[in-house]
């Protein structure tokens, strides 16, 4: 091979494209069911849009360069800053809350590994301009319903939910200085992939916390929501946060998603701009990386524009999701074939074939035929390899009588159809 695609970038051969299309169609149909409108933005943005807003991890992975006009630019690594920029520009005049979705291709120079590539497609669903937990519940419901549309239910996936405001109140109560919260979050974010000792070490060394504070932080993670209520329910800063999170869970329960969601205080998310509820969706077997991540980010709009609007949303990538769907046999193996492949016995029926094909296509069917006249066996082989649903056979006798024979490729059943009824 003289050329190969770059590491972490994918070719979508037709069968791969069919799988991608299957996923994206379910995403679009679901977003529309919840009355979200589709938008898009440019794949290249000013570098500045990501620096400081998204956080160190993503900025370290940017595809960035100086363009011919001396502008510092970057390929978009995520959609949220673009969304904030666009809503910041025109949002003042829009009815609130704004309900928007998008399916951008994103670029991050990551160490390529299972479930992580250097480009991916990501379903983004966001509500802008609504503080109530009903908005947080609505976007999580969209994410879960999108997975359900693909065949993944409560036995397959689970949303782990937390609230940064609750975590902040608990950590500050435990003695973490406010200026160390960021580094403490970074250590907590890695908890599910590391041993408790490694987390303790990070909290002590990276966040510079004293041994008793490290102990107080670690104690938080021994609890579920009831346990936290019992242990910290009367701490003034913690109580309202617990109550809000309860309301979030109750809202999701009445929407029918109780068995899909679980409180997990270790979920903080790697991006800096989250200010409230945060969640990640994982496969139940815990084999794969996160399928989806999101949360509330009430300060991002004011950071990139003159508008101050609260916001909540998520991003769901196609890479991990496709892996899970493939493992469950829930992805189409090949591109869909044509509805009809038209076959002619002799060259004389070719003009009729072209008229029949034209009429069937005008009626909205997909139609193929073997472009040059070859033996009937070869034409059937062609129909088979293209995965055609039915074959329309035009022979001299049939055409003389004004009919065609239509044969189902699945069952072999044949029927005669008048030519003027085809199409």
For residues 47 and 231, which CB has a smaller minimum distance to ligand HAM in the complex?
A: 47
β pairing state of 292-296 and 311-317: antiparallel
Nearest distance from C-beta of residue 176 to ligand HAM, angstroms = 24
The neighbour count for residue 246, using CB atoms within 10 Å, is: 14
Nearest distance from C-beta of residue 79 to ligand HAM, angstroms = 6
Nearest distance from C-beta of residue 87 to ligand HAM, angstroms = 12
Nearest distance from C-beta of residue 362 to ligand HAM, angstroms = 41
The neighbour count for residue 406, using CB atoms within 10 Å, is: 17
Beta bridge partners of 404: 417
- Cα-flanking dihedrals φ and ψ of residue 394, to 5°? -115, 110
How far is CA 104 from each of CA 91, 124, 316, rounded to the nearest angstrom? Answer: 20, 8, 11
Q: In terms of Cα–Cα distance, which of 166, 178, 238 is closest to 209?
A: 178
Q: Give the binding site for ligand HAM (CB under 6 A).
A: 78-80, 108, 110, 116-117, 120, 122, 124, 126, 271, 290-294, 313-317, 319-320
For residues 74 and 353, which CB has a smaller minimum distance to ligand HAM in the complex?
A: 74
Give yes or no for a contact between 390 and 408, defined as CB atoms under 8 angstroms apart.
yes
For residues 190 and 223, which CB has a smaller minimum distance to ligand HAM in the complex?
A: 190
Structure tokens at 271: 């991006």
Which residues have CB under 8 Å from 376's CB, separation 6+? Answer: 343, 345, 393
Nearest distance from C-beta of residue 290 to ligand HAM, angstroms = 4
Q: In terms of Cα–Cα distance, which of 310, 302, 307 is closest to 132?
A: 310
For residues 152 and 356, which CB has a smaller minimum distance to ligand HAM in the complex?
A: 152
Q: Which residue has the CB atom at the shortest distance from ligand HAM?
A: 317
Nearest distance from C-beta of residue 296 to ligand HAM, angstroms = 8
Which residues have CB under 8 Å from 160's CB, separation 6+? Answer: 261, 262, 263, 264, 266, 267, 279, 280, 281, 282
For residues 8 and 215, which CB has a smaller minimum distance to ligand HAM in the complex?
A: 8
Give yes or no for a contact between 335 and 80, defined as CB atoms under 8 angstroms apart.
no
Structure tokens at 370: 């073997």
Nearest distance from C-beta of residue 244 to ligand HAM, angstroms = 19
For residues 176 and 292, which CB has a smaller minimum distance to ligand HAM in the complex?
A: 292
For residues 79 and 213, which CB has a smaller minimum distance to ligand HAM in the complex?
A: 79
Nearest distance from C-beta of residue 104 to ligand HAM, angstroms = 10
Give the single-character DSSP code of 116: B
For residues 315 and 395, which CB has a smaller minimum distance to ligand HAM in the complex?
A: 315
């Amino acid at each position: 091979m003289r050329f190969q695609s770059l590491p972490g970038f994918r070719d979508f051969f037709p069968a791969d494209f069919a799988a991608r299309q299957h996923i994206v169609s379910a995403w679009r149909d679901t977003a529309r069911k919840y009355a979200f409108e589709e938008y898009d933005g440019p794949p290249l943005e000013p570098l500045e849009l990501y620096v400081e807003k998204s956080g160190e991890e993503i900025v370290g992975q940017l595809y960035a360069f100086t363009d011919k006009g001396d502008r510092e630019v970057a390929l978009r690594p995520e959609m949220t800053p673009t969304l904030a920029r666009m809503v910041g520009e025109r949002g003042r005049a829009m009815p609130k809350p704004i309900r928007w979705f998008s399916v951008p291709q994103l670029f991050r120079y990551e160490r390529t590994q299972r479930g992580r590539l250097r480009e991916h497609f990501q379903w983004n669903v966001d509500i802008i301009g609504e503080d109530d937990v009903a908005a947080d519940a609505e976007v999580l419901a969209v994410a879960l319903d999108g997975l359900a549309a693909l065949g993944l239910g409560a036995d397959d996936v689970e949303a782990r939910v937390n609230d940064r405001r609750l975590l902040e109140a608990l950590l500050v109560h435990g003695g973490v200085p406010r200026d160390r919260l960021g580094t403490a979050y970074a250590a907590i974010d890695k908890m599910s992939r590391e041993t408790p000792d490694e987390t303790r070490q990070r909290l002590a060394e990276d966040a510079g916390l004293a041994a008793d504070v490290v102990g107080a932080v670690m104690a938080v993670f021994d609890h579920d929501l009831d346990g936290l209520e019992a242990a910290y329910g009367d701490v003034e800063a913690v109580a309202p946060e617990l109550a809000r999170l309860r309301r979030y869970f109750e809202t999701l329960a009445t929407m029918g998603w109780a068995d899909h969601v679980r409180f997990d205080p270790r979920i903080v998310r790697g991006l800096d701009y989250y200010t409230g509820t945060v969640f990640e969706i994982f496969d139940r077997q815990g084999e794969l990386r996160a399928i989806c991540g999101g949360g509330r980010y009430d300060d991002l709009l004011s950071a990139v524009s003159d508008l101050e609007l609260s916001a909540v949303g998520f991003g769901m990538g196609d890479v991990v999701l496709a892996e899970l769907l493939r493992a469950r046999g829930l992805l189409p193996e090949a591109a869909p074939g044509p509805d009809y492949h038209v076959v002619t016995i002799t060259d004389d029926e070719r003009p009729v074939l072209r008229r029949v094909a034209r009429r069937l296509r005008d009626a909205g069917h997909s139609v193929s035929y073997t472009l040059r006249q070859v033996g009937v066996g070869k034409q059937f082989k062609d129909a088979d390899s293209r995965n055609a649903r039915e074959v329309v056979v035009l022979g001299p006798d049939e055409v003389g009588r004004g009919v065609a024979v239509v044969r189902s490729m699945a069952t072999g059943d044949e029927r005669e159809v008048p030519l003027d009824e085809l199409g």
